[in-house]
């Protein structure tokens, strides 16, 4: 069993109210090979919402207390991102998932994300908050 980023299965849960539909992922979910969840929504954030980036590092540094997640308008949403990641992990375990396929270039799900808080177009390697938690807990994590 896998857990996948909900937006990849067609769920309209992205910050801009859209999905990032991947037909192969959708098929996996429909055939019962994967469950879906959105960490940011699990953490209590709305759809749509202000886009956010990690400032001061990546997801690993967020868990170490060295970096924060901040929205474009300056709201600190670190607590929501961490809470959503923990719920995502809990859901994965409850459903017997041992691996994850996550949406790339997201401060939650990405294996690469924006670790500089500048909302530029450049990405650097480094997992987002949820990806970092899952990797640390021994999950096999890949991007779509
Ligand atoms: S948090 Fe993950 S699942 Fe939710 S919209 Fe962003 S990339 Fe998709």
Whether ligand 1 lies within 6 angstroms of the CB of 85 is answered as no
The single-letter DSSP state of residue 22 is -
Task: Answer for the pair 40, 9: CB distance below 8 angstroms, yes or no.
Answer: no
- Dihedral angle, C-alpha 88, 94, 97, 101, nearest 10 °: -20
Helix (H) / strand (E) containing 18: none
CB atoms under 10 Å from CB of 19, counted, come to: 18
More confidently predicted of 53 and 123: 53
Instruction: Dump pLDDT digits (tens) for 33-44.
Output: 999 999 999 999
Task: Answer for the pair 124, 112: CB distance below 8 angstroms, yes or no.
Answer: yes
Instruction: Dump pLDDT digits (tens) for 57-107.
Output: 899 999 999 999 999 999 999 999 999 999 999 999 999 999 999 999 999
Confidence (pLDDT) at 144? 84
- Compute the distance from residue 50 Cα to the ligand 1 centre, in Å: 13
- The neighbouring-strand residues paired with 69 are 54
Whether ligand 1 lies within 6 angstroms of the CB of 40 is answered as yes
Confidence (pLDDT) at 122? 67
What are the residue ranges spanned by the domains of the chain?
Answer: 2-143
Whether ligand 1 lies within 6 angstroms of the CB of 7 is answered as yes
* CA gap 105, 128 in Å, rounded: 8
Task: Answer for the pair 117, 77: CB distance below 8 angstroms, yes or no.
Answer: no
- The model's pTM is 0.95
The two structure tokens encoding residue 31: 């055939």
- Strands in the chain per DSSP E: 2-5, 34-37, 52-55, 68-71, 99-102, 112-113, 124-125, 140-143
**Residue with CA nearest ligand 1 atom 8:** 7
């Amino acid at each position: 069993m896998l857990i996948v980023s909900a937006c990849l299965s067609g769920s309209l849960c992205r910050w801009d109210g859209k999905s990032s539909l991947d037909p192969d992922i959708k098929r996996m979910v429909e055939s019962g090979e994967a469950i879906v969840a959105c960490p940011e929504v699990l953490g209590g954030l709305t759809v749509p919402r202000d886009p956010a980036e990690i400032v001061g590092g990546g997801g690993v540094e967020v868990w170490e207390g060295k970096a924060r997640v901040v929205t474009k308008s300056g709201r600190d949403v670190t607590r929501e991102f961490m809470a959503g990641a923990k719920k995502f992990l809990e859901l994965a375990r409850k459903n017997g998932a041992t691996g994850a396929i996550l949406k790339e270039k997201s401060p939650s799900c990405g294996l690469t994300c924006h670790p500089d808080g500048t909302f530029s177009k450049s990405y650097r390697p480094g997992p987002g908050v949820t990806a970092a938690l899952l990797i640390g807990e021994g999950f096999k994590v890949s991007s779509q």
